[in-house]
Amino acid sequence: MEYTNVLKFGGTSVGNAQRIQAVAALVSRDDVPKIVVLSAMSGTTNSLVEIADHLYRGRRQEALDVIRDMEINYLIVNSELFSTSKYIREGKEFLQTIFTYLRSFVNKEFYPLQEKAVVAQGEIISTTLMHYYLQEQEIPSTLISALDFMRIDKDGEPDYFYIKQNLHRLLADPSAGRLVITQGFVCRNAQGEIDNLKRGGSDYSAAIIGGILNVAEIQIWTDIDGLHNNDPRHVKNTRPVRLLSFDEAAELAYFGAKILHPSSIQPAKRASVPVRLKNTLNPADEGTLIDKDSPACDFKAVAAKDDITAVKIKSSNMLLAYGFVRTVFEIFEAWKTPIDMIATSEVAISLTIDDTRHLDRIVKELERYGTIEVEHALSIICVVGDFRADTPGVIARALHALREIPLRIVSYGASEHSVSLLVRQADKQRALVALGRALFDNE
């Protein structure tokens, strides 16, 4: 069977019994063959991480307390979700199996890798409860385990050959129907152990599946009408952007648009499969479509990324020094620390990072080459639009809007789709509001 769409629903979309029922109605409203990818119910992954942390630190009673609270909450969901004694009983028995499994870790030594197995239970719970509810409603569905087809290689990247072979094998089974349920986020690693695609990885799962199956559309369902032209948490009167290119959406996702996981764009782009962002609470809205091309437009959207650290390397010896920039990059590469922005002059390099786990060691190595200055609590603001070199005056409008806000770095020219601006985190909201007023008539 050829599957037309892949639909991914996030944690808030399946956050309680009523939301699960609404999603079930949504995915079964037509006969279009589809694969539904679910995240864990909102709050579950955090609780499971907390359990793993308690176990790792030997705090057994604290772990048992969190497990008990989770079990009570899920039994309430179970009683609210199902209306027949048969499925109330089956749901309860399933949940008891899960929480017995979690308790099995309490009385033995806990290893860091086992955290992945603990955290995976969130998606296993949500997909199984959804499958049971569809059965209760006499809606045919098939539940397949992501652990049977989703795998990452030794570098943590999707093993596309393995995924494709095993996904096609599972879907070729005569029992696989028109509505297939599976877990997001969950996978196995190259050694066959339970692993995951990092936080937010359910988007990634959906995009990988959609790309491999070459579906007509990948739909990411959340609780907002698509990707907005500014951050609605900080700016009023924002509006959904109806059409974005893959590159534009990737820039916005990487630099702070929370609705979409940054990694999820690449598998869809590779396969030229459109991605649509939809609202579970307002399914009639068209949302945001992400495709190969989008209309040229001066400004499309603004996003911001917090907790940025700037590192400046000042050295008079770098004047015309061959290979100096390469040396600096190699230090960050050695400590597996990505660089977001970079600006150079004759005597200095300024760059930004969002991962400071190895910052002290990086600084110590950089000090061999010059004076190092570090500034924390910064934000990168990314403005996405049509910034081709032959489009006059566009960048000036954005900079003029921020004329009263100190800018640390301005990065322009590497992309035709975006300009990035570094500001103090304390100035972020003021900057977003100013850009919203000047570029989109936001308030």
What is 43-88 written as a DSSP string? Answer: THHHHHHHHHHHHHTT-HHHHHHHHHHHHHHHHHHHHHH--SHHHH
Domain harbouring 335, CATH code: 3.30.2130.10
Which residue, 201, 223, 245, sits at the end of a domain?
A: 223
Cβ atoms of residues 24 and 139 within 8 Å = yes
Last residue of a domain, one of 223, 256, 274: 223
In a domain, 102, yes or no: yes
pTM: 0.90
Strand 275-279 and strand 299-314: the pairing is unpaired
**Whole domain around residue 329: which residue ranges?**
300-440
- CA dihedral sign, ordered 89, 92, 96, 97: positive
DSSP secondary-structure letter at 40? P
Q: Are residues 183 and 306 in the same domain?
A: no
CA distances from 217 to 7, 33, 85 (A): 9, 12, 38
Q: Are residues 179 and 328 in the same domain?
A: no
78 and 202 part of one domain: yes
10 and 109 inside one domain: yes
The residue length of the chain stands at 443
* Per-residue pLDDT at 415: 79
Rounded CA-CA distance 408/126 in Å is 44
Residues 320, 198 share a domain: no
What pLDDT score does 321 carry? Answer: 64
**CA 344 distance to own-chain centroid:** 31
- Does residue 265 lie in a domain region? no
Residue that terminates a domain, selected from 189, 223, 257: 223
Domain CATH number, residue 30: 3.40.1160.10
How many CB atoms are located within 10 Å of the residue 438 CB? 16
pLDDT in tens, the chain (443 residues): 899 999 999 999 999 999 999 999 999 999 999 999 999 999 999 999 999 999 999 999 999 999 999 999 999 999 999 999 999 999 999 999 999 999 999 988 998 889 999 999 999 999 999 999 999 999 999 999 999 999 999 988 999 999 999 999 999 998 899 999 999 999 999 999 999 987 568 999 999 999 999 999 999 999 889 999 999 999 999 999 999 999 889 888 888 777 787 778 899 999 999 999 999 999 999 999 999 987 777 789 999 999 999 999 998 766 556 778 888 999 999 999 999 999 988 788 999 999 999 999 999 999 998 899 999 999 999 999 877 756 677 788 889 999 999 999 999 877 788 899 999 999 999 999 999 999 998 76
Number of domains in the chain: 2
Closest among 410, 407, 388 to 343, alpha carbons compared: 410
Distance CA 181, CA 165 (A): 18
Q: Which of 290, 311, 310 lies closest to 301, judged by CA?
A: 290
Judge whether 286 lies within some domain: no
| Residue 413 near residue 344 (C-beta atoms within 8 A) | no
Q: What is the pLDDT of residue 200?
A: 64
Q: Give one DSSP letter per residue of 275-344, joined into a string.
A: EEEEETT-TTS--EEEES-----SEEEEEEEEEEEEEEEE-GGGTT-TTHHHHHHHHHHHTT-----EEE
DSSP 107-169: TS---TTHHHHHHTHHHHHHHHHHHHHHHHTT---EE--GGGT-BB-TTSSB-HHHHHHHHHH
One-letter amino acid of 74: Y
Going from the C-alpha of 145 to that of each of 7, 21, 142, 177, 356, the distances in angstroms are: 16, 21, 10, 15, 36
Is there a single domain that holds both residue 304 and residue 210? no
Given this model, what pLDDT does residue 199 score?
A: 59
pLDDT score of 171: 96
Domain membership of residue 276 (yes or no) is no
pLDDT for 443: 67
26 and 141 part of one domain:
yes
- Write the burial class of residue 107 (CB in 10 Å: 0-12 exposed, 13-18 middle, 19+ buried): exposed
DSSP code for 264: G
